[in-house]
Chains A and B, each alone.
Chain A
Amino acid sequence: MKGKKTLNKTSKNNFITMGGLLLVYVIVLILKEGGITTNLINGQLVPICAYMIMAISLNLTVGILGELSLGHAGFMSVGAFGGVFIGSLMQQVSDSKTLCLLVAVIAGGLMAALAGLLIGIPVLRLRGDYLAIVTLAFGQIIKSIVNILYIGLDSEGLHVAFINKPEILDDGKMIISGSMGVVGNRKLSTFTFAFIVLMLCLIVIYNLIQSRTGRAIMALRDNRIAAESVGINVTKYKLLVFSISAAMAGMAGTIFAFNYSTVSPTKFDFNTSILVLVFVVLGGLGSMRGSLIAAALLTLLPELLREFSDYRMLVYAIVLILVMLGTNNPKIRDFFAKMFARKKTAKEENANG
């Protein structure tokens, strides 16, 4: 009886996050249609959704699975370029923007998931810092590969080449051209589409965490040996979560790429990985709501600080430090600790019951 009640509490909390997100979406949409929001905000809506998806997907790896990934932008890159590739092919056969984008997002997600699975198989056998190092290398490798990758499309078909640009006919165009990345992309992403994907990702993550699988994963995070001793298949669960996380990052990448007419491989570098990690750490490990808020705020913040012109990034850094200090303040920490304690007991009871 007691167990059931606490379960509802977690669910309720999740529903509040989702409801809040939906509310913000509706408000922003009304304001946007009413022409009240500035162009700056309108232009930021899709990237914010993409970064939110990135943040919750990394939070799944870092906060729930307990593995540090420093190459999350690598998956975003795979999703971005893979998605644009499929999306460009789709545009040859279909005129529907939404259909093209949908197929591209699914394809981008699948490709990133595959990449996650492939690197997950050897890497998740490593523990601690090694995983961080390998994922860091993964991000760099992806960046370097896309840098020399050329894919062109013309009436003869696809031309794929490395290092040197392939010859394409006049009627064709380059889909991915090396260091320039994607150029002359049709902007397909819309706020509503990005939001729906974000919502779906959030629902998947919440359900995953609350499921039997989620409990197994968190058991793994908290004590691997104990978890193994009760028969939890470590590799299976780790791979599962890592692939899901990669797939979401891939989808975010596709949405992000289709929001701009050009995307370069260097966009998804180490700095982007760290930026997303900052969202997660600032929002709180394991807290999806925190990640969402942190992603939105930290994406908007540098733009809103433009008033400070040259001192912008300085102020940005100071704000970051203040927030970190603030969340480390004994009183505030105590406040969060109490909440965390409640959650934890709830989880333990669930696990017991």
Chain B
Amino acid sequence: MKKMKKVVCFGLISAMMLSAFAGCGKKSDSGAIRIGGTGPLTGGAAVYGMAAKRGAEIAVEEINALGGMQFELRYEDDTHDAEKAVNAYNILKDWNVQISLGSVTSQPCVATAAETYADRIFALTPSASATDVTKGKDNMFQMCFSDPNQGSASAQYISEKKLGTKVAIIYKNDDVYSTGIFETFMDKADELGINVVSKTTFNTDSQNDFSVQLGEAQKAGADLVFLPMYYEAAALILDQAKKMNYAPKFFGVDGMDGILTLEGFDTSLAEGVMLLTPFSADATDEKTVNFVKKYNEKFGETPNQFAADAYDCVYAIYEACQKGKVTSDMTAEEVCDIMIEQFTTLKFDGLTGAGMTWGKNGEVTKSPKGMVIENGVYVGLD
């Protein structure tokens, strides 16, 4: 009997080992440059990961159709978790990834950025906005605004355009993105003399009811509510504010983008909501129109900012690769050195801004666009 147990035990272990090795050894010989990224393709934040993946796919398809330099794209699921993101990144490394698209969301990206830095693989994240993503890493670049930029830009915008006299803030205190923006917003607000009358928080476990937070904002007489958060929670806030007959102006950041495509959301609630985002799907320039059309045809929905960021990432990499004459047989380390050199001198025009440049710290310089939702679409706020 004990022997049986032994056999079972070793059988299990060897099965485990065997299956562990089964996955390795896949290499691409197609002569394409391998680009890989991780993002939440399943779970609560899946909408960002999927959008980024699809945006990047469209860009890769377009580039490959041009002939010449070829790209091969692979996205792995990280379920918005740092531990899983490192696993996903390791899978990409097993695939011999040459250029990384980092991770889509902030916390996982901080984890993968440390890995890409140690492995000397160049990374350009479409949307991980925390400063810790790029801090102290010479080969990590961002396509989106960093959190401090968003927070202070929002405060600046509100103050300049005189959008509100009394401001209330509701933020998610267990979320890196939300607290990051909140902190820098407050710094800037103090500086500009914005009157913040109410600061309330929520967390993952309490994001189903906002009556307390909204009640406090209403009691304090806030005429503008700043919502530095992702759109799921914001959608609920809008809904509950409506039910309370509380109608201040709502101001969001790029995480608010996507609210109009949320399933079951009454878009009339979002009427008049303002948000700061570098991309608007209804812009009339040729690039955006083209991209939105393709995205719509392929996936049956309007792309959000994450898709546009990822699309831009691939094109920026393409441009840098061409200038730096990167070929598919270079090692990731060689590519990394070329890319760092190219990116710090690159001037890139994309969907999410024109004349983008990158500093040595990896942060992008571009100007945010204020948007307001009217009749269910974004309209420039100028």
Chain A interface (Cβ within 8 Å of chain B)?
13, 16, 20, 24, 27-28, 36-44, 47, 140, 143-144, 147-148, 165, 178-180, 183-184, 187, 260-267, 289, 293, 296-297, 300, 302-304, 306-307, 309-310, 312-313, 335, 338-339, 342
Which of B83-91, B149-157, B159-167, B212-220 contacts the other chain? B83-91
Contact A38 B5 (CB under 8 A): no
Q: Which 8 A-B pairs have the closest CB atoms?
A: A261-B114, A39-B90, A38-B24, A262-B110, A43-B90, A39-B93, A40-B90, A183-B132
Contact A40 B91 (CB under 8 A): yes
- Chain A interface main SS type: helix
Chain B residues with CB under 8 Å of A42's CB are 90
Question: B69 an interface residue at 8 Å Cβ cutoff?
Answer: no
Q: How far is the CA of A300 from the CA of B111 in the complex (A)?
A: 19
- Chain B interface main SS type: helix
Contact B9 A20 (CB under 8 A): yes
Q: What are 27 A-B interface contacts by the 8 Å CB criterion?
A: A13-B2, A38-B21, A38-B23, A41-B20, A43-B90, A179-B174, A179-B178, A180-B180, A184-B132, A184-B136, A260-B82, A260-B111, A260-B114, A261-B111, A262-B107, A264-B82, A264-B107, A265-B174, A266-B174, A296-B16, A297-B12, A300-B16, A304-B22, A306-B23, A309-B41, A313-B42, A342-B1
Q: How far is the CA of A39 from the CA of B36 in the complex (A)?
A: 15
Chain B residues with CB under 8 Å of A304's CB are 19-20, 22-23
Q: Given A40-B91, A261-B114, does the pair A147, B21 have CB atoms closer than 8 Å?
A: no
Contact B16 A147 (CB under 8 A): no
Contact B1 A339 (CB under 8 A): yes
Contact A180 B83 (CB under 8 A): no
Question: B81 an interface residue at 8 Å Cβ cutoff?
Answer: yes
Q: Given A47-B83, A304-B23, does the pair A180, B76 have CB atoms closer than 8 Å?
A: no
Chain B residues with CB under 8 Å of A178's CB are 173, 179
Interface residues on B, range: 35 or more
Q: How far is the CA of A345 from the CA of B6 in the complex (A)?
A: 21
Closest B-chain residue to A146, C-beta based? B174
Question: B130 an interface residue at 8 Å Cβ cutoff?
Answer: yes
> Which residues of B1-33 have CB atoms within 8 Å of chain A's CB atoms?
1-2, 4-6, 9-10, 12-13, 16-17, 19-24
Question: B211 an interface residue at 8 Å Cβ cutoff?
Answer: no
Chain B residues with CB under 8 Å of A312's CB are 42, 77
Q: How far is the CB of B25 from chain A (nearest CB, A)?
A: 8
Contact B173 A300 (CB under 8 A): no
Chain B residues with CB under 8 Å of A47's CB are 83
Contact A261 B205 (CB under 8 A): no
Question: B175 an interface residue at 8 Å Cβ cutoff?
Answer: yes
Which of A16, A38, A148, A338 has a CB less than 8 Å from the CB of B90? Answer: A38
Q: How far is the CA of A210 from the CA of B234 in the complex (A)?
A: 56
Contact B19 A260 (CB under 8 A): no
Q: How far is the CA of A147 from the CA of B183 in the complex (A)?
A: 14
Contact A20 B13 (CB under 8 A): yes
Chain A residues with CB under 8 Å of B21's CB are 36-38
Question: B209 an interface residue at 8 Å Cβ cutoff?
Answer: no
Contact A261 B110 (CB under 8 A): yes
Q: How far is the CB of B135 from chain A (nearest CB, A)?
A: 7
Chain B residues with CB under 8 Å of A289's CB are 9
Q: How far is the CB of A52 from chain B (nearest CB, A)?
A: 13
Interface residues as binary, B156-192 with A (CB distance below 8 Å gives 1, 0 otherwise): 0000000000000000111110111001000000000
Q: Given A43-B86, A180-B176, A306-B76, does the pair A297, B203 have CB atoms closer than 8 Å?
A: no
Q: How far is the CA of A167 from the CA of B172 in the complex (A)?
A: 21
Known: A39-B93, A297-B16; 10 extra A-B contacts, CB below 8 A, are A24-B13, A147-B203, A179-B175, A179-B176, A180-B179, A261-B113, A267-B83, A306-B77, A310-B41, A312-B42
